[in-house]
Amino acid sequence: MSRTVYVNGAYLPEDAAQVSIFDRGFLMADGVYEVTTVIDGKLIDFDGHLARLERSLGELDIANPMDRDQWLEVHRELVARNGLELGMIYLQVTRGAPGDRDFLFPDPETTPPTVVLFTQSNPALVDSPKAQKGMKVITIDDIRWGRRDIKTVQLLYPSMGKMMAIRQGADDAWMVQDGEVTEGTSNNAYIIRDGRIVTRALSNDILHGITRAAVLRFAREAQMPVEERSFTVDEAKAADEAFVTSASTFVMPVVAIDGVALGDGTPGPLARRLREIYIEESRKAAI
């Protein structure tokens, strides 16, 4: 069945949706995106994702094309039109299509941003076989640009990193800068030692994960101590547990780093507990 997608104000069958070849998202990766999870047909952390969208657009001097209620309406309309129960909504805003290729930003008066949204169904989102087994990660150099706090569509290196992991029999890669873990290719990275959750502090070096903010809040409410500081690869390999967070994986246990098993090589109890709490609380707060 063909999906209904949203392009610049219109709801269209996916085969009929089009974006210009001059779009700066296509030519220059000049655009930002968000991914909002849908559970029970409802949006998880919608306002967090919108706040980050607003910030990403602002950092790139792209005007936000819609207000909160308009964004919410498009999200809900796509959920309804596609009968989406479990999955996600992908949203992308680019600097638009000036009709030529030029390094200079086009005049926003004559070149409006391009807006695309589509749904992706994922029936295994909550009862995930991967979460039962846990993920293996490798470590790779973090050679991305210096503004990883902006959620741009330049995802080539993270994509290559994931392929490097798969080719080595692992599931994902953690990126490393000056010996310290920044984040996963598409998630924030955590270790647990003696019951303390450690994750890198927010800066331009990492994406400010919406799931990260929620999980740290739930952890503190559950009296689990949290340390927001950098950790080395060696410290990670010696940890009791590890996990990653993202909108599309929630809390996902990590059971091995560069072939070194953590604990007994199965998902740790605190990571599993945090996953349960996150899913339960997010379901309650979904809109």
Q: Would you state the torsion angle of the CA atoms of residues 274, 278, 284, 287, taken in this order, to the nearest 10 degrees? A: 170
Residues in contact with ligand PMP, shown as a per-residue x/- string from 94 to 113 under the rule CB under 6 A: --------------------
The residues in 231-260 that bind ligand PMP, with binding defined as CB under 6 A, are 245-247
DSSP per residue, 49-102: HHHHHHHHHHHTT---SS-HHHHHHHHHHHHHHHT-SSEEEEEEEE----SS--
Closest CA to 268 of 184, 193, 214: 193
Is residue 130 annotated as a catalytic residue, yes or no? no
Q: Tell me, rounded to whole angstroms, the distance of Cα 286 from its chain centroid.
A: 18
For the CB of residue 100, give the shortest distance to ligand PMP in the complex, in Å.
31
- Residue 36, interface with ligand PMP (CB under 6 A)? no
- Residue 211, interface with ligand PMP (CB under 6 A)? yes
Residue among 133, 151, 162, 284 flagged as catalytic: 151
Q: Tell me, rounded to whole angstroms, the distance of Cα 131 from its chain centroid.
A: 17
What number of chain residues touch ligand PMP (CB under 6 A)? 13
Q: Which of 186, 205, 218, 231 binds ligand PMP (CB under 6 A)?
A: 186
- Measured from the CB atom, the residue of 6 and 190 that comes closer to ligand PMP is 190
- Residue 137, interface with ligand PMP (CB under 6 A)? no
Q: With the C-alpha atoms ordered 271, 51, 79, 62, is the resulting torsion angle positive or negative?
A: negative
- Measured from the CB atom, the residue of 55 and 273 that comes closer to ligand PMP is 55
Binding residues (CB under 6 A) for ligand PMP: these are 35, 183, 186-188, 207, 209-212, 245-247
